[in-house]
Amino acid sequence: MDRREFIMVGGKMLFMTAATAAALEHVMAGTPEKVDTYKAAEHWWALLIDVEKCIGCGSCVRACKTENDVINEPFYFRTWVERYHIEATDAEHPIVDSPNGAYDGFPEAYEEGKGKTFFVPKMCNHCADSPCTQVCPVGATFITPDGVVLIDKDYCVGCRYCVQACPYGCRYIDPRTHTADKCTLCYHRITKGLVPACVEVCPTGSRQLADLKNPSDPIHEFLRTHAIQVLKPQMATGSKIYYNGLDGAVR
């Protein structure tokens, strides 16, 4: 290689490095909103699920899959609905089913008057002290300043630690990208002043978005006057999905 050749090749390589760096920076920056009035520090998001109002229609499951482009196959859900059936005297052994996550609702299965039957919607609990964010080795999952647990798909290496760590089974590996995926509380909607898709379509108001930092949010009154429960309180995850009328048999 003579000097002329060396300089040509060297110059090309330098140019390519610079171009790649610029392109990378562009990708990293994303496309932020043009006018952004949303201030994360002023919110602390939670969700209220009123089990007594759920009719098991599955509207939330379908809307969630559409809104968030969740792969339309069984076993991949950001939210799903479980049906519990408990024989009168056997509260410790509930029969639980969730055919295709209740995507098509539920087929009739139990006789009226024998034991009790009810529906329990489930989704990511957006824990304040989340086990899933603690185990992530690369900082790909995290809690935002407004209390939503998110996944950075570009950073996720697909190691599945978080899927194992979540006590609520809310995470899965997206077979298309081989990265972790789960409910974002429709972060792209709530930061625009909309409610999550599942809340929007719920016909009975069984799901309600709540902002705990907003003093005029009706959630405060509701939490004060109802018997509220979170799932697996013994895990001390700081879950922010508040259930009203949750049966003790639900896990």
Partner 1 sequence: MRFRDVEHLFRLAAIFLAGTLVFVVAKAEMRPKDFGKDGHYRPAAVDEIRARAISYAGQTACADCHSDVVDLRAQARHKAVACESCHGPLATHATAMSDGTEAAKPVRPDGRTLCVRCHAAKTGKPKRYPIVDIKEHAGDENCLSCHKPHDPRIS
* Positions in the binding site for ligand HEC (CB under 6 A): 57, 59, 203-204
Least Å distance between CB 119 and partner 1? 6
Pick 130 or 208: Cβ nearer ligand HEC = 208
Among 184, 208, 237, 239, binds partner 1 (CB under 8 A): 184
- Residue 95, beta-bridge partner list: 85
106 binds partner 1 (CB under 8 A): yes
From 80, 250, 84, select the one nearest 172 (Cα to Cα). Answer: 80
Residue 127 burial (10 A CB sphere; 0-12, 13-18, 19+): buried
128 binds partner 1 (CB under 8 A): no
How far is residue 105's CA from residue 99's CA, in Å, rounded to a whole number? 8
How far is residue 212's CA from residue 207's CA, in Å, rounded to a whole number? 15
Least Å distance between CB 203 and ligand HEC? 4
Among 191, 208, 239, 244, binds partner 1 (CB under 8 A): 191
144 binds partner 1 (CB under 8 A): yes
How far is residue 133's CA from residue 142's CA, in Å, rounded to a whole number? 5
Spatial CB neighbours of 179, under 8 Å, sequence gap ≥ 6:
140, 151, 153, 156, 157, 158, 173
Least Å distance between CB 136 and partner 1? 8
Amino acid letter at 108? E
Which backbone phi and psi does 149 adopt, to 5 degrees? -85, 120
How far is residue 248's CA from residue 231's CA, in Å, rounded to a whole number? 10
The interface mask with partner 1, positions 19-58, x = CB under 8 A, is ---------xxxxxx------------------xxxxxxx
Pick 176 or 188: Cβ nearer partner 1 = 188
Least Å distance between CB 217 and ligand HEC? 23
218 binds, among ligand HEC, partner 1, none (CB under 5 to 8 A by kind): none
Among 10, 205, 233, 248, binds partner 1 (CB under 8 A): 205
Spatial CB neighbours of 14, under 8 Å, sequence gap ≥ 6:
none
How far is residue 44's CA from residue 248's CA, in Å, rounded to a whole number? 27
Stretch that binds partner 1, among 1-9, 60-68, 172-180, 207-215 (CB under 8 A): 60-68
Q: Which residues bind partner 1 (CB under 8 A)?
A: 28-33, 52-59, 63, 66-68, 83, 85, 105-106, 108-112, 117-119, 139-145, 150, 152-155, 184, 187-189, 191-192, 194-195, 197, 200-205
